[in-house]
Structure 1
């Protein structure tokens, strides 16, 4: 079984999309739901482990998205983008 999916994909089986295909918001939202499910503690151990593994994969995916965003911001700051406010400039709010 692929560690990115829970279920077999059969009718009436709860199958999740591959983690690698999820954007940040979808991965984060699913991770929040998995945490809620696991906190309830009402499922068999094997099923709990599958959800925990999926949650770990989702957390890694979120970190990948956040690392990418951080790298983009740092690259913009290093480039001295003319549209960026000057360091120490007052906020326009």
Structure 2
């Protein structure tokens, strides 16, 4: 897969889901789209896992223990973007 961002992969995955949900594709084409969607899902999952690992590294205290802090406080999570 060519280098793409998480956002690009998600956008492409959403398009594939829409195409599959429409139900207009021939079986062979639907299977091809499904496989492509699974590849994009794995890519996005790896990106999220890598990001989570980086965040964990950034949240270690001086003794090396992971300090659990939410990325957003409860107030920030409720604010519209």
Normalised-by-shorter TM-score class = 0.7 to 0.9
Equivalent pairs counted in the alignment come to 65
Q: Highest CA radius of gyration, 1 or 2? A: 1
Alignment TM-score, normalising by the size of structure 2: 0.72
Gaps of 5+ in 2: 63-68, 77-81
For the residues of structure 1 that align with 2:21 and 2:42, how far apart are their CA atoms? 20
Q: Secondary structure of the equivalent of 1:50? A: helix
The separation in 2 between residues aligned to 1:60 and 1:47, in whole angstroms, is 20
In the alignment, the residues of structure 2 paired with residue 55 and residue 36 of structure 1 have an alpha-carbon distance, to the nearest angstrom, of 11
What TM-score comes out, normalization by structure 1 length? Answer: 0.64
Q: Which ranges of 4 or more aligned residues in structure 1 deviate by more than 3 Å?
A: none
In terms of fraction of residues, the more helix-rich structure is 2
CA RMSD of aligned residues (A): 1.8
